[in-house]
Structure 1
């Protein structure tokens, strides 16, 4: 577990829940926001200010050190009190095991150079990341105290089902997110850092999507993870954000089934409400904004609902035209 704390003093008359603004990005692949006067895309500068920035991986195209520097420079330009980042399958030098097997080929090197992995990790966990205000998250649970006085509990994982032999893979029959006694029936449990049960987590950050939720490819295939969906139903966070499948950009409001029967992934969800996005508003505002706090027009029913957001900035054809998401939600005050 990793814990980062920013000390703050809160008056005794503050509410027990604090509205907190999240800016969500994924799959930027070295892109920076377009200039402010660009009129036909949502991803343009300046990006909206937020309490917390969440970047769900694929910072680069193929994990070169100069690409990481470009990503850090882009993240440094964003105005957020806390910036949380995970890797994705394209950030290959942040996966030591994968890089040892495939790095030489993918980086077109004459000889294997594992020192790239050490340098990459140092970039994301050392002084350069601190200057950019970035906190890099390994797989597991992390707790933060925000400047607004709220407590944020995050589960993070860069792993996704094997996809064209890129980084951070596991096989589809392997359950990476549930402990053995809660694993998907007939799966092979490989979990080292299980997603906790409700109510331990506020936000789940993964690179890949869960099965059936914002995971549909341009070939009409659902490529998300059934075991992840099972774990998120058990966890019931307020927000689950991810990327990976560019063409599945968007948000879905999920209401969970209470039944504990082994019904398969299609039976975990009672209702999946597709969030409609006005493309003209997206381009004009440079974002999609949702307020699911209790002061919003329709507050989230905590423990019953989760907002699922695929925040891929890149389109299927690798054009950085898709807008970021702003989500306002309530967090418990840190005590």
Structure 2
């Protein structure tokens, strides 16, 4: 792992992100009310991050309906991943011999990668790394993944003791490495965008913690500026994680301090995060445990590296 102190100082530019997840067909804007504090057109931003579960089943018509919501948000870049409810987007849920299933999958993918998404300004991300540059000169790298631990035969699932996020040799004892696109070590990624939470981070449900142990290990290696997710509706919130100076520590042991965050939406919150030393973690589930859209999106401003003119 590269040392945080060795990262060169570069010019930065403030960049505003709107983060949301688990909208489940709710419509933000017009007559929609979020958290009792927001109605009407949403505020503008530079980047929208939607962490999955736009729909209930992932059908093409549900996806189209969700894209109309995202179309109402004014932003230069809108990045969207699938969640465990987007069954028709998961190719593994389609049996090649099941022609209706194959056609449903194709129709869903066509929505998210075709004219509907283009009209809404949406870029659909699968698992892996992508780098983006905005008009303001801000440049950043995003790691995205829709996968979560298996639950009720939902989409994009892996067995809880399979490690999808760490390369061989960096996983926890007793876990089987299945990583096709592991999260890179620091400083290889600025933003980690997953559907599910890491273990012990806004992942509490009635029966315990539902987050992924492998994911917290991977994020502790990567030390991004931001890790955003949803999936666990009960875990809505944000935390500033300060990392231990000992960069050899992995997983929960790497965390030195956790500070609770406050949502000031629709006002933006300025986040002077120290890259490599701190990470803001956000559970942006808009719907609560009863699938009611009572939580506000997060509007956060980060200082991102600016490309030299």
Q: Is the structural similarity TM-score above 0.5?
A: yes
Structure 2: segments with no counterpart, 5+ residues: 1-9
Q: Which residue is equivalent to 2:172?
A: 184
- 1:98: Cα distance to partner? 2.0
Q: Which residue is equivalent to 1:306?
A: 279
Within the candidate set 211, 214, 220, 1:224 is matched to 211
The alpha-carbon distance between structure 1 residues 269 and 68, as it changes in their structure 2 partners (threshold 3 A), is same
Q: Which residue is equivalent to 1:5?
A: none
Deviation track 1:273-332 (CA, whole Å, cap 9, x = no partner) reads: 12245xxxx6xxx5464211xxxxxx2121110000000000100001100000100111
* SS of residue in 1 equivalent to 2:208: coil
Deviation track 1:180-224 (CA, whole Å, cap 9, x = no partner) reads: 02222221000000111111111110000000001111x151110
The alpha-carbon distance between structure 1 residues 40 and 176, as it changes in their structure 2 partners (threshold 3 A), is closer
Q: Which residue is equivalent to 1:321?
A: 294
* SS of residue in 2 equivalent to 1:119: helix
Preserved CA contact (<8 Å) 2:29 2:42: no
Does 2:270 align with 1:291?
yes
Distance across 2 between alignment mates of 1:229 and 1:215? 11
* SS of residue in 2 equivalent to 1:142: strand
Q: Which residue is equivalent to 1:175?
A: 163
Distance across 2 between alignment mates of 1:144 and 1:255? 26
CA RMSD after TM alignment: 2.1
Does 2:240 align with 1:245?
no
Distance across 1 between alignment mates of 2:244 and 2:157? 29
- 1:40: Cα distance to partner? 6.0
Deviation track 1:23-58 (CA, whole Å, cap 9, x = no partner) reads: 001000111025458596245331121000000000
Distance across 1 between alignment mates of 2:254 and 2:153? 29
Within the candidate set 255, 260, 272, 1:269 is matched to 255
Distance across 2 between alignment mates of 1:84 and 1:78? 12
Within the candidate set 59, 65, 78, 1:64 is matched to 59
* SS of residue in 2 equivalent to 1:181: coil
**Greater alpha carbon shift after TM alignment, 319-328 vs 27-36:** 27-36
Q: Which residue is equivalent to 1:333?
A: 306
Does 2:230 align with 1:257?
no
**Greater alpha carbon shift after TM alignment, 251-260 vs 180-189:** 251-260
The alpha-carbon distance between structure 1 residues 329 and 260, as it changes in their structure 2 partners (threshold 3 A), is closer
Distance across 2 between alignment mates of 1:179 and 1:95? 23
- 1:153: Cα distance to partner? 0.7
Distance across 2 between alignment mates of 1:47 and 1:288? 11
The alpha-carbon distance between structure 1 residues 324 and 92, as it changes in their structure 2 partners (threshold 3 A), is same
**Count of matched residue pairs:** 298
* SS of residue in 2 equivalent to 1:198: coil
- 1:146: Cα distance to partner? 0.5
Name the TM-score, length of structure 2 as normaliser: 0.91
